[in-house]
Amino acid sequence: MVVNIQERGEAMEGFKLLRGMELGAATAATQIEGGECGHNWNDWYRKGRIKDGSNPALTTRHYDLWKQDCDLMKRMGLQVYRMGIEWSRLEPEEGNYDQKAFAHYREEILYLRELGIKPLLTLHHFTNPMWFEEKGGFSEVENSVCFLNFVKVCLENFYDIVSEYITINEPNVYATSCWFYGEFPPGGKSITKAVKVMSVMAHCHIEAYRMIHDFRCGKGLTDTRVSFVHHMRVFVPKNKGNLWHRINARLLARMFQGAVADAMFEGRFGFPFRNYYKDKRGNYCDFIGINYYSRSTVSGFADGVRVGVPLNDLGWEIYPEGIAECAKELYARWPLPVYITENGTCDNEDAFRSRYIYDHLKALCDSGLPVERYYHWCFCDNFEWAEGESARFGIVHTDYSTQARTIKNSGNFYSAIIAAGGVDQQLYSQYAEQETYHM
């Protein structure tokens, strides 16, 4: 069992999980399910835009193998699971819903509940049906209604078995990757469009938030929790003494995460959103949902990586303290329960993931924040968007040729943390102590 190291006053490694804190894993439909569903990532693959050529129609075939994956989650002791649903499967043509696909997800959710794993349902995670994409997706104000109609039908199908919802995953990453950096479909290159997309998504989130609460409340259900998921980074100037670096770090933080947080949490459409919506003040999040991965070192108007810092296999800085810094920043503005809805790393050999998990969980448990959930990204290796399958984020290894799943060393560590309610010196020595990050 976990030793209270502080009480013993010894310089030992370890931490206790916070009271009531639940641990699990996150996934997204497109990244694990496979299938030609008529979505924009099937199309992006056909356009040759996946770096390693892997095909999202294959990936981990979770749509067929969902039951064995859920059983594996149970075996690993996961308490909570953040999952997505594929919009293009559920609504293959506008207004035409596929009841078989709804029944499929209902079966999966009911099975998770039977196993005692609580689902958190993400309604939009980066992928659009082609019919929506072809209308301009979230870049057109009038298309919001398409998303909201979809949310309504999801509620009709899931309201009684899901109480916790994420409306939209990472509007900032979605908007900038799709419309500014051009790495995600449709490959846009316009900052104005990216800003507009974020504001349309904020509007969609607010309306969906209201709808989910009203709908479930109308059915006499009062345990509803809804939020969006915010991708947070720490932005620091490359050189603190350089005014230009400092200005850019603040500007990027505002453009990338500050403005969208104001709009999503409280309906405040400030700079740079002013042109699209009037303020709709209110409270639109029941918890703080944070996806945290890295820190950005800023000199010009783009993020960079400091030299001589620990890096993951995609070259992202590993900065564990940042998870608590980001959560504190949001909590200071909106004191709500904290859910870490994603945190994880690309470590193809599983060489430092246990240390990564240890360092990030420790930072959270030492933060003094009411962290209620931690969802590791990802349950299994999967289709990592434009990077493809070769970027491995799972605590479970996927063999893409046989579809065999094998729990990694880090997965065993994670299970042990859940079972023990934290990490004591012995667990630390067994899993994390020997692992070091590379620079």
- Distance CA(185)–CA(175), nearest Å, equals 10
Nearest-approach distance from CB 415 to ligand BGC, in angstroms: 22
| Stretch 330-359: interaction string toward ligand BGC, x if CB under 6 A | ------------x-----------------
Nearest-approach distance from CB 349 to ligand BGC, in angstroms: 17
- 229 touches 170 (CB < 8 A): yes
33 counts as binding ligand BGC under rule CB under 6 A:
no
| Residue from the set 17, 18, 25, 28 that interacts with ligand BGC by CB under 6 A | 28
Nearest to residue 264, comparing CAs of 227, 314, 305?
227
Q: How many CB atoms lie within 10 A of CB 401?
A: 6
Instruction: Identify the DSSP state of 46.
Output: H
Interface of this chain with ligand BGC, residues 377 to 416, rule: CB under 6 A? 377, 384, 393
169 counts as binding ligand BGC under rule CB under 6 A:
yes
Among the residue ranges 59-67, 168-176, 264-272, 396-404, the one whose residues contact ligand BGC (CB under 6 A): 168-176
| Stretch 225-264: interaction string toward ligand BGC, x if CB under 6 A | ------x---------------------------------
Nearest-approach distance from CB 179 to ligand BGC, in angstroms: 16
- 218 touches 309 (CB < 8 A): no
Contact residues for 239 (Cβ-Cβ < 8 A; gap 6+): 245, 299
- 378 touches 357 (CB < 8 A): no
Q: Which ranges in 76-143 belong to alpha helices (H)?
A: 87-90, 99-114, 130-134
Q: Nearer Cβ to ligand BGC, position 128 or 169?
A: 169
317 counts as binding ligand BGC under rule CB under 6 A:
no
| Residue from the set 163, 291, 312, 354 that interacts with ligand BGC by CB under 6 A | 291
60 counts as binding ligand BGC under rule CB under 6 A:
no
Q: Nearer Cβ to ligand BGC, position 17 or 232?
A: 232
φ, ψ of residue 236 in degrees (nearest 5): -125, 145
- Distance CA(401)–CA(68), nearest Å, equals 17
Residue 298's alpha-carbon distances to 237, 248, 439, in angstroms, are 5, 7, 19
167 counts as binding ligand BGC under rule CB under 6 A:
no
SS3 340: strand
Q: Nearer Cβ to ligand BGC, position 289 or 422?
A: 289
Positions touching ligand BGC (CB under 6 A) are 28, 31, 169-170, 173, 231, 291, 342, 377, 384, 393
